[in-house]
Structure 1
Amino acid sequence: MDKDNDHGKNDGEQRLESGEGDTMRAEGRFIEPQEPRAEPGQSEEQAGTGDHATPERLDHPIIEEPHEKPEKRTTTELLYGVIANPVETLRYVAKHKLVAAGILIYVAVAWIGAFASIPGSLNSFEQIPEISGLPMFSPRSIIVFTIVGTPFFSLLWLVVYAGILHLIASLLKGKGEFPGLVSAVGFASFPMIISTPFSLLDYVMGIGISLYGLISLPFTIWTIVLTIIGVRENYNFSTARAVWTFFIPLIALFLLAILLVIGIIALFVGALSR
């Protein structure tokens, strides 16, 4: 029987090669090879390939849905976020490099604070006749300087200050960029605007400047903490490195001031010993 089967197979192959296969196909006597059937627990693609199906082998490859773009936030939302959720907000600000908004906020805070301090400054100058008589300390000069000078010098200080922080952060192997730092520092200064009304107490209620400094101290500390957070998020730092980045310039400035005082004292003592 096995010989008959082998003989039948050989005969079929010869007919297929000799062209009789087309005739058999036309007459419906030729059996097309069937697709392999899937075993239980096996997909049709796996049965056809003999292996696990991959996206390249699928007739209908899986198409990943595009990720939704993060929603843009308004400046008002970001300012609220600085108060309510500072870490995530300053990370967003530094990542998207909102330089224009950061500069505008920093200059506006400095400008409003300078305007609020005008009455107290005029009151202080009036108590010193030697100063109040000078044209540069007249009310008009002070107001003009506040309007024109404050935006310029606050912007200059922001660039210099951020540049120093960026240099220190780079030395500590930070990965952030300067525009992101400027943006974060600008937004971090926002809480100082809350302390602005207290500067009017010196003029309205006669409160001393030392008391105003005490009242504004929590807002200053708040701004420092926000600045450190901004440095950390911009440079992907640890908190310790961000703290060092903030305080190293202050420590260097303090040591420089001490050396300057020591030098002046040495010159004064040397002049007296002659």
Structure 2
Amino acid sequence: MKKVVIVTGGGRGIGAATAKRLAQQGYAVCVNYRYRHADAEGVAAAIREEGGEAFAFSADVANEHDVIQLFDATESRFGKVTHLVNNAGILFEQTSLKQISLQRFQQVMTNNVTSCFLCCREAANRMSRGGAIVNVSSAASRLGAPNEYVDYAASKGAMDSLTIGLAQELAPEGIRVNSVRPGLIYTEMHADGGEPNRVDRLASHLPLRRGGTPQEVANSIAWLLSEEASYVTGSFIDIAGGR
């Protein structure tokens, strides 16, 4: 069976590292993006330069029509989608819950939870036995992210519940669903939250005394998708330096 994977939010950070890692393992990769055209095209081009198969496709994965187009385009290009990495997500500037507007909260939930739901549903309706899904959650779902990103943490908690329920629903069909929960990882997302050096500020408080890399997260995602994890479903890997 040809391995065909969609990586949402694949233009930077964990998504980009995951797309490249999976391509090295023989997956044909759809690098999904919404706005970061040049970044996503760069990831796809880098994969092709190394002899892999990849293309970039723009889709708002919180939009049902776009998600269907994303899967259709991938299947038209590479054949049946066999694997999915739900990595797309957003956060906003650090603040307490008291200062979070309804608009912001709804936008975070739509971008992080609705997108995961839509892509999981589409994958569940298309995948066959041997398929696998990994949802990229966050250690924030366990920790709550007080005074920083409670809305983001809540969205990731919803993703965790979706992972558990869908894993149980799809297990009889031989489709596995798991999650990774990154902690302090060196990605551009911290700049979105208003503190580009957040990892450096907090790394010394972790048991491992350092931040993590996107490649370390990508390695765990690749393992969960692989046959080496064939008896693993409904599980979570915390990639958070011991926190």
Q: Identify the structure with the greater strand proportion.
A: 2
TM-score (structure 2 length as normaliser): 0.24
TM-score (structure 1 length as normaliser): 0.22
Report the structure number with the largest CA radius of gyration. 1
Q: Identify the structure with the greater helix proportion.
A: 1
